[in-house]
Chains A and B, each alone.
Chain A
Amino acid sequence: MSAPQRRIAPEHWFGVAGLILLAVGSYLGLVEAPPERYMGEVGRILYIHVPTAWIGLLALTAAGVFAGLYLVQRRPRWDDLLTGCVEVGVILTAMLLIQGSIWARPTWGVFWTWDPRLTTAAILLLSFIGVLALRAFVEDPQRRARWTAVATLVAVLDIPIVYFSVKWWRTLHQDFSSPETVAGAMHWPLRINAFALLALAIWLILRRARLSRQRRSARATAPPATSTLVAGD
């Protein structure tokens, strides 16, 4: 065992960039941008809500890609990234629902409504919590990786079907976003926050992947007594 090197891991730069961008975007959104025409001050939650939705969906889609890559190539690296993507996606989707409820209460008068996007997000959250629970129940690392990849792929395929079925189920509900709600001074906070969350998501995913990799190498270099136990499975 050599002494650990005190060097900043490269992924931390994503974290630094993300936090700075988030501070700038939030300042622009909360202070500089004018109040939204129809929703007033409450509309400012949009600047974090919309990016959360984008990046959350992006993380879960990326999880589907890594799941496919793992099943084809069977490299542990893809499982590490897949886990990070699902975990970050679940957190972002949960945040999305909380933000949505905070926004919906003053705007619609209720915390919850069966809007297609809201319902789809809730179903997504439950699906991917299921994937994480499955992971927690399987000990053998290779089997865990294979099953996670299969369950992730199956859940990602469901996203468009869920969305369209829920949309048709709620055809009577009006669509509430219009182009003029994101115009002019409102563009910038939205974009900056989107990149902020993207950088933060990448940071967390890479940190999570590094943790998985270090755990794996710790297992591999464990004292012989443990190795003989592992050889049995």
Chain B
Amino acid sequence: MTLGVQTRAILGKDLRVTWRGRARSAAVFAFAGTVLLLFSFAVGPDSKTLAQHAPGYFWIALLLGSVLTLSDAFRVETEDDALDAMRVLPVDPRALFLGKAAASAITLAALAAALTPVAGLLYGVGVQGSWLQLLVFIVLGAAGLAAPGTLYAAMTAKARGREVMLPLLLFPLVIPVLLAAVKGTALALAGDPMGQVPSWLGVLVAFDLVYWAVCPLLLGAVIES
């Protein structure tokens, strides 16, 4: 089987698993929504401040939710030694990575899309800039979280103390994603008179390219026994 066929098979499998466990996804969505709500309490009922910082709160809520989504994606593989079964099949580790990371990116982008109207309503912000830019930043940001997140989840799914290890490893690493996605989202919402979108898009694309190119090659070393 070629890399592409295997990747598609893994991607399809993971999306099916996510869809059948959608109660879990709904819980993650509710959790992220709760985080959005908590920010309004932390900041106070000043609607101007909330609207101003809405992109930041939105991405922090998504980041916290992503830890749950990403660790779930590998936890299902450790149950009943599914991962070992796939290794001896043999599934190319690169295909395993690409399929799982793509599935996580799609799940995260869907979570972000579901969270957008909630954030818009709670913080009272609308899109004055460009819907297309918003979509691009959400998709690229989700991809940026998913690539290193999938690699680290492969390690932490089996490690002791996994609840703390995944965020501890992932959060400092994805700060460039967070910065670029927050700035890009803010510019997409409010408009971009200074033409700053390209540089933030550049950061995000660079991060995505580096990690989507390197992580597939590293997964083999992570999961070998």
Query: Which residues of A are interface residues toward B (Cβ below 8 A)?
Result: 71, 123-124, 126-127, 129-131, 133-134, 137-138, 146-147, 149-151, 153-155, 157-158, 161-162, 164-166, 168-169
B222 near A168 with CB under 8 A, answer: no
Complex-state Cα separation, A133 to B159, whole angstroms: 11
A71 near B221 with CB under 8 A, answer: yes
B172 near A123 with CB under 8 A, answer: yes
Q: Which chain B residue has the least Cβ–Cβ distance from A128?
A: B172
Tell me the dominant secondary structure on chain B's binding face: helix
Residue among A137, A150, A157, A169 making CB contact with B159, cutoff 8 Å: A137
Q: Which residues of A sit under 8 angstroms from B118, Cβ to Cβ?
A: none
Q: Which chain A residue has the least Cβ–Cβ distance from B160?
A: A137
Residue among A153, A157, A169 making CB contact with B183, cutoff 8 Å: A169
B200 near A168 with CB under 8 A, answer: yes
How many B residues face the partner with a CB closer than 8 A? 32
Q: Which chain A residue has the least Cβ–Cβ distance from B164?
A: A133
B179 at the interface (CB under 8 A from A): yes
Complex-state Cα separation, A144 to B180, whole angstroms: 33
Most buried by B among A134, A149, A155, A164: A134
Q: Which residues of A sit under 8 angstroms from B206, Cβ to Cβ?
A: 161
* Contact residues, B16-61 vs A (CB, 8 A): none
B123 at the interface (CB under 8 A from A): no
B165 near A137 with CB under 8 A, answer: yes
Task: Given the known inter-chain contacts A150-B155, A151-B155, A154-B173, please indicate yes or no for A161 contacting B207, CB distance below 8 A.
Answer: yes
Q: Which residues of A sit under 8 angstroms from B199, Cβ to Cβ?
A: 168
Complex-state Cα separation, A127 to B222, whole angstroms: 18
Complex-state Cα separation, A150 to B214, whole angstroms: 10
B222 to chain A, nearest CB (A): 6
Tell me the dominant secondary structure on chain A's binding face: helix
Q: Which residues of A sit under 8 angstroms from B183, Cβ to Cβ?
A: 169
B179 near A166 with CB under 8 A, answer: yes
Complex-state Cα separation, A155 to B211, whole angstroms: 11
B203 near A154 with CB under 8 A, answer: no
Complex-state Cα separation, A130 to B174, whole angstroms: 13
Q: Which residues of A sit under 8 angstroms from B169, Cβ to Cβ?
A: 127, 130-131, 134, 151
Complex-state Cα separation, A147 to B173, whole angstroms: 16
A161 near B159 with CB under 8 A, answer: no
B214 near A153 with CB under 8 A, answer: yes
Complex-state Cα separation, A127 to B152, whole angstroms: 12
A155 near B203 with CB under 8 A, answer: no
A150 to chain B, nearest CB (A): 5
Q: Which chain B residue has the least Cβ–Cβ distance from A149?
A: B221
B218 at the interface (CB under 8 A from A): yes
A173 to chain B, nearest CB (A): 15
Q: Which residues of A sit under 8 angstroms from B179, Cβ to Cβ?
A: 165-166, 169
A133 near B165 with CB under 8 A, answer: yes
